[in-house]
Amino acid sequence: MTVTATAAGGLAEDLGSFHARAKEWVAANLEPLDGADPYLGHAIDDADHVLRAKAIQRKLFDAGFAGLCYPVEYGGRGLPAEYQDAFIDVSYGYELPRLFNMPTFTIILPTILDFGTEEQKKRFIPAAIKGEELWVQFLSEPTGGSDLAGALTRADRDGDVFVLNGSKIWSTYAWKSDYALCVARTDWEVPKHKGLSVLIVKVHQPGITINQIKHVDGSDDFCQEFFDDVVVPADQILGQVDDGWNVASRLLLHEREAMSGSSPYAMAPRTAAHENDRVGAAALAQDSGGATDPRVRQLIGEARVLTRVHTALVGRIAVSIRTGRLPAAAGSIPRLSNGMMRVRLASIALEIAGDRAVAWSDNDPTGELGVAYLGRQGPCIGGGTTEITRNIISERVLGMPREPAEDLDRPFRDVRTNAAVPRHRS
């Protein structure tokens, strides 16, 4: 059974009956997580992860629960955000295709909605909502992560196509993805922000080499891509040529919305419950019994306080941005909170686990905690470092003066960078 929005955009189903119907459908059609990682679900390996996510997304689409807030003409349901909230409410604790949540639904598709041509919107938005195509962002480069506008990857016009050369890095699950938004330089004779373009790039095609990067915890989600004369049709530019900074800025805005919980397109709440569970697990694993040791209790209490306050903050900032109390850049506040909270939670888990976090038996859950500690700084680095985040908060929320820069007033060709500019081989 599916709901239809009327041609006039009116709703065929009120919120209450939607909520009830969604609840019933979720219980009958989705699998409970039962303690599984909410992100990976019940996938047995990486390949299975993609297949499962795509299949579940298709199931959601067929039942009328996909793309709830996307326009009907692009495969969505055209419903207000309250319907998405209702679906989140009833589907919490069930296996969802969270692989699609970020960046596909909350960052990429909203940006295509903002800047795409009619053809681009019709081609790409429904395919993602149906679970057919997964997206990735090609933003950071090996020569610099935080300075996005300093991109050295180049796209040179050659008749009907652009030819892409360079390298991107820190793209999550690139090898699992079908399409990417890629920031590249199309004009080197103008200042840095004026010569960028955003390209829609098919991930699996000649000239693209993807290397998985092994993380300290042994996982290999992050990738580096090498572009070697990759051909991109000229009609696959998102927005205008050389107006890529405008597009990329919107991309980052949608990323902040996603991070701050104010995106209407998110399929799951961004709470910290999962991280908090690790602290509880560490306490459980204590031989002494965590709840009876006053030192451990202080740490458990601290962890619970941090996660609950973070949840409250996410809600407050989302409302503040929506009502204009704070500028959109305030999305950086929950981003900073998330990084600092997760760093502390990793340390708390280590503290509680004691020596069992560093020397453990098979099947001892405390071993994971020591390994997680090794990658502790990740949440303070990915998605823009907490240092850049503090710059954004102080400059764009509090209005303090910008950091001095020596790359704004000259052609990008004359800017000092970390690499020799790669040349297009003609």
Binding site for other proteins (CB under 8 A): 280, 284, 289-291, 294, 297-298, 300-302, 304-305, 308-310, 312-313, 315-317, 319-320, 323, 325, 333, 336-337, 340, 387, 389-391, 393-395, 397-398, 400-401, 403
| The two structure tokens encoding residue 249 | 């800025």
Question: What residue type is 61 in one-letter code?
Answer: F
- Specify the residue, 41 or 290, whose C-beta has the smaller distance to other proteins: 290
To other proteins, the closest distance from the beta carbon of 34 in angstroms equals: 16
Nearest in space to 78 (alpha carbons), one of 87, 68, 88, 64 = 68
Beta bridge mates, 235: none
- Specify the residue, 129 or 296, whose C-beta has the smaller distance to other proteins: 296
To other proteins, the closest distance from the beta carbon of 330 in angstroms equals: 8
The SS3 of residue 171 is: strand
To other proteins, the closest distance from the beta carbon of 145 in angstroms equals: 18
To other proteins, the closest distance from the beta carbon of 297 in angstroms equals: 4
- Specify the residue, 58 or 316, whose C-beta has the smaller distance to other proteins: 316
Nearest 5°: CA angle at 310, between 308 and 312?
Answer: 75
To other proteins, the closest distance from the beta carbon of 306 in angstroms equals: 8
Q: Radius of gyration of the chain from Cα atoms?
A: 23
- Specify the residue, 127 or 284, whose C-beta has the smaller distance to other proteins: 284
Distance CA 410, CA 113 (A): 33
To other proteins, the closest distance from the beta carbon of 19 in angstroms equals: 20
- For residues 405-424, one letter each, b for 16 or more C-beta atoms within 10 angstroms of the residue's C-beta and e for the rest, the string is eebeeeebeebebeeeeeee
- Specify the residue, 372 or 393, whose C-beta has the smaller distance to other proteins: 393
The SS3 of residue 344 is: helix
Q: Is 387 exposed, middle or buried (0-12, 13-18, 19+ CB in 10 A)?
A: exposed
- Specify the residue, 237 or 341, whose C-beta has the smaller distance to other proteins: 341
